[in-house]
Amino acid sequence: MTDTILANADLVLPDGVLRGAVLVRDGTIADIAPGAGVPPGAVDCDGDLVIPGLVELHTDNLERHIQPRPGVDWPHAAAILAHDAELAGTGITTVFDALRVGSVVTAPRGKLAEYARAVAHEILGLTAQGVLRISHRLHLRAEICSETLAEELAQFTSEDGVGIISLMDHTPGQRQFRDITQLRVYMQGKHGMSDDAFIEFLAEQREMGERFRAAHEAATLAAAARCGAVLASHDDTTEDQVEKSAAQGVRFAEFPTTPEAARACHDLGILVMMGAPNLIRGGSHSGNVAAANLAREGTLDILSSDYVPAALLTGALMLGDLWGDMARGIASVTAHPARAAGLADRGRIQTGLRADLVRLRRLGPTAQLRGTWVAGCRVA
């Protein structure tokens, strides 16, 4: 590999922004030098921001490519490659692809087909072939309110590179959909359910949650230990739920739904992750706490693109503006998620770390991507 120098850039370092140049050699950051000079052969960034590559812990984007419309199943390899290219084009250099584990095979209204093991196999295969642009890892979303969770989790081992397992309980009447009215709007809007069908769906889901919760929680904790995965909670709503998450060994909380839950997470050393779309839109589509409110309280640590990959860069800039500290805003999508996932080799512009880098230019409140490098190789 040849040396690459990104010069005359505003480098977002862990402790602030520095006009300077970063030298990349053999896939790592070899040197950081202050100044606006442009050495021969260097890329003149013309004052653009250069930040660490974004680390995405939870995205539904791959599922969108696999099933672009209800009832339409797309070939997995083509979907993964399109997803990979899209993320590279938004500055994401490390992704934990979120795959639901836990299916529903008997309930007439809430059927969910198993897919995680097959898709994971193809992600791992494409990674081994070296054809993916960015670094892909697995995030298993363990759905407690399902019938087959334990059997599906048993299909994964420590050899699969599962980085995150999240405990997700979508039983109606708690957590994300504590407000049944919001769940009704969501399900009838997305799936066209009639009122009678929705009532049947509620009964099926509640019965399933009560029947399987204890066994499925135990199976999820065992799978996280077996796979060496970081454990995450999902949609914590009450202090009691957060205390239970802490006792289970949860490292970060995905999308707590109330300020009380977010504060409890911070008190117990659990990092809080919120969705960038929530921040940009000014609120949650499920009627839960606004990410901006947690940011103002100082209880937001990590952003996830959730269902809009391009939201991650813009969200980080918004946080930098809100906090008056661009380094802190960028850390919410780089250093902090890397730390939550146990990745010590990326997430900061620092000598000796992986040269995962992004060049961007601000266009008002949003960001124009000018280049993405993964381990020193330009991929977008």
The number of beta carbons lying within 10 Å of the beta carbon of residue 349 is 26
Q: What is 53-344's CATH superfamily?
A: Metal-dependent hydrolases (3.20.20.140)
Question: How many CA atoms, within 13 angstroms, populate the side-chain half-sphere of residue 114?
Answer: 14
DSSP string for residues in 338-351? HHHTT--SSSS--T
Amino acid at 207: E
The number of beta carbons lying within 10 Å of the beta carbon of residue 73 is 12
Helices 116-129 and 76-88: angle between axes, nearest 10 degrees: 60
- Where are the extended beta strands (E) located within the chain? 4-13, 16-25, 28-34, 43-44, 49-52, 54-59, 92-101, 135-143, 162-168, 230-234, 252-254, 271-275, 302-304, 357-363, 366-374, 377-378
- Residue 184 confidence (pLDDT): 60
Q: Which two tokens stand for residue 148?
A: 């087959």
Phi, psi of 125 (to 5 degrees): -65, -45
Say how far apart CA 56 and CA 341 lie, in whole Å.
Answer: 10
- Residue 199 confidence (pLDDT): 73
Q: What is the mean pLDDT of residues 261-281?
A: 97
Q: Which two tokens stand for residue 157?
A: 């081992």
Over 60: is that where the pLDDT of 109 sits?
no
Q: What is the mean pLDDT of residues 66-89?
A: 94
pLDDT band at 309 (very low <50, low <70, confident <90, very high): very high
pTM of the model: 0.91
Question: How many CA atoms, within 13 angstroms, populate the side-chain half-sphere of residue 168?
Answer: 22
Each residue's pLDDT tens digit, 152-183 = 999 999 999 999 999 998 666 565 666 666 66
Say how far apart CA 104 and CA 201 lie, in whole Å.
Answer: 12
Q: What is the mean pLDDT of residues 180-200?
A: 65
Say how far apart CA 148 and CA 163 lie, in whole Å.
Answer: 21
pLDDT band at 104 (very low <50, low <70, confident <90, very high): confident
What are the structural domain ranges in the chain?
53-344
Q: What is the mean pLDDT of residues 74-82?
A: 97
Q: Which residues contact 105 (CB under 8 A, 6 or more apart)?
A: 111, 147, 148
Say how far apart CA 143 and CA 170 lie, in whole Å.
Answer: 7
- Residue 273 confidence (pLDDT): 98
From 117-121, 201-205, 298-302, the region with the lowest mean pLDDT: 201-205
- Residue 217 confidence (pLDDT): 94
Question: How many CA atoms, within 13 angstroms, populate the side-chain half-sphere of residue 240?
Answer: 2
| Mean pLDDT, the chain, integer | 92
Long-range contacts of 67-70 (CB under 8 A, 24+ apart): 70/191
- Residue 70 confidence (pLDDT): 79
